[in-house]
Structure 1
């Protein structure tokens, strides 16, 4: 008697909110390192769970392409498919560019970000973090996610890209509205686009020491449209995952005794907690996607030409074939997939910017609110129900009220 083939797994629902790690373990047990999944509307795809298999996919852009025009399911995708913003038709941004053109665009972005002075970056992050905490410190309680982590990264990114400080709060609201995907999403997207094109027009007329001006000055021959698209992609990719990196790291430090020393006034565990999160609780769980250019085999599965392959970053980080002692602290091991891999991975200078913002945000908060503690049981903390990004819905905390910086005692 033959055992029936396990059914494809729906990539959505409450399991991604409650315990995605256990779900990935079940999928690996039932399907192996590459699992069949279905997306909204019963659209089929493959989720790569294995570390080695993910390395193979991201190392071979000729076979596993970023060109979404290859998808063999377009004829059944409706115009209002809810995942189109995540798995859309090819757009004029670096996300969907392939080959030499992609390498040139990535170089332009890396060069522009590499020129950001690390001391200035840290100074901007400290200033905006202090400004946000000044608005919270006298209250004695707050939601770290909604009132701090979700407001900080884009303020810093907007500043180094060339926006004025006065434009920052409006850009944060627009970006968060767009990410939330509710009634304000389209207005938020429109505000970001209009602001970006206005910024590029201003910097074309009067360049400054900022990322936008450096990208405009590059001689690789990219259009204003291409630069605007890439800057918007960089803002979105740099904001939400960094906000979740802050929130997830603070959750770990507030709930795990191994990191209690940091809350007693030291900083030595902050970097270790941040590294642990990138292994165990990475903000970017799954990434869409790659499309096969021909029939192939991967992880014992036959993958058809034009099939959609999703990158299971969180699952690969927990692959027992490479994490034989998953309970041990990861220390300085940076072999995680949390920033991707291959030519479409997050550019290294962008990783450095994200790490500087996240670490500064955590350190400033611990300095300013040294007795910060959870406002309720850790078991009551909830996650956003997303298979793509993993972050807390809220992180309510309490602390001793203190005056704002410069306030009269």
Structure 2
């Protein structure tokens, strides 16, 4: 069985598993299985700095906490461990309360989430797909003649925010700075907070512009919904962050699957028939968002055989729930139509409709263009040499080096790069 580190906490009975460290970088799936085997569907854990919480790995238990927003609430101010959290805690961005839709509850949450859903529903998905094709073509143009590329840094990471900028009605000249700052803000680095402030400033300027010059875009739709400008700024930040890294990882993880699994490699020349299956399989087996903080018990309760106290934090093990043997036996490699995974969450605080559809349009189009343009695409390194980013929370590759037959594109490749990036 996979080994994991235990630790005792005098404030909590029994031993707890440290949900951080190098064990997760190598094989998180095996670790989730080991935790479930020893503790069951709800396990006592320690987060960075040995802050106690619960890890929910059972599919049924996950369904319960996401379905009952009154007992398992979202407002992080309910947490009973705030007095133990240092000011420089690395997970503070996940739990620090802010006035965005992420932390609202009840009627207020339904008002805010409903406005986001309506704004996203107004997006023309056919037009979005056509725009993603143009973005993808220009990015491929930039490296098609070289015969090699890193499909994470040169492709997957670049497309989602370029698509979002289009949905926001942002001028193309402002897009490169937004892409750069969002990438920095989502990383754990010295300039992350400054980058976040720059993104916030950009969203505030965008909303002010759309107030005076509305259009057929998401910010203008939100302004028509009656939300305040500050509410819209905060919620656009949430949508932007949710669209970037998870979608980029979804793209990268799916391309990896199609290049390493013979079921897909045999159909790469056609591509289109298997992209949808590969996208769905990744959500079950290598979902971009592995774990999520979280839910907070509003009163003492029982969950998965554990006594949960009022104010306790429950970490949502999305990937672990997807691999729960109780449901995994019903998921086969060919189960294209089974979308009962927890990758987009569930319930009132799940990813608002139609955000998953919009993300799939971006991901599917991105991959289809790549396979159409470079039909003999192949990994440039052994599959086992690929390195996953060191994160307990996200599942994505550091790089995805590939090789292919060079295809020379007419015109100035430099200007093509500038136009896309």
Assess, with a 3 A threshold, how the Cα gap between structure 1 residues 205 and 305 changes in structure 2: closer, same or farther: same
More displaced stretch, 162-171 vs 247-256: 162-171
1:350: which partner in 2? 355
Matched-pair contact (CA < 8 Å) for 1:11–1:387: yes
1:217: which partner in 2? 224
1:288 aligned counterpart, secondary structure:
strand
TM-score by length of 2: 0.93
Q: Does 1:61 align with 2:53?
A: no
Shift, 1:407, TM fit: 6.5
2:383: which partner in 1? 378
TM-score by length of 1: 0.96
1:233 aligned counterpart, secondary structure:
helix
1:317: which partner in 2? 322
Q: Does 1:284 align with 2:289?
A: yes
Corresponding residue to 1:179 among 177, 181, 186: 186
1:276 aligned counterpart, secondary structure:
helix
Query: 1:14, 1:258 → 2: CA distance?
Result: 31
Q: Does 1:147 align with 2:154?
A: yes
Shift, 1:265, TM fit: 2.5
Gaps of 5+ in 1: none
Task: Give the total of aligned pairs.
Answer: 402
1:180 aligned counterpart, secondary structure:
coil
Query: 1:57, 1:266 → 2: CA distance?
Result: 38
Shift, 1:178, TM fit: 1.0
1:254: which partner in 2? 259
Corresponding residue to 2:57 among 31, 49, 53: 49
Query: 1:163, 1:358 → 2: CA distance?
Result: 21
Counterparts of 1:10-21 in structure 2, within 5 Å, are 10-21=18-29
Shift, 1:326, TM fit: 5.6
Moved over 2 A (4+): 4-7, 325-330, 404-408
1:157: which partner in 2? 164
Matched-pair contact (CA < 8 Å) for 1:262–1:270: no
Query: 2:27, 2:205 → 1: CA distance?
Result: 43
1:91: which partner in 2? 98
Assess, with a 3 A threshold, how the Cα gap between structure 1 residues 19 and 329 changes in structure 2: closer, same or farther: farther
Shift, 1:96, TM fit: 0.2
Query: 1:313, 1:36 → 2: CA distance?
Result: 16
Query: 2:51, 2:142 → 1: CA distance?
Result: 46
Query: 2:363, 2:16 → 1: CA distance?
Result: 37
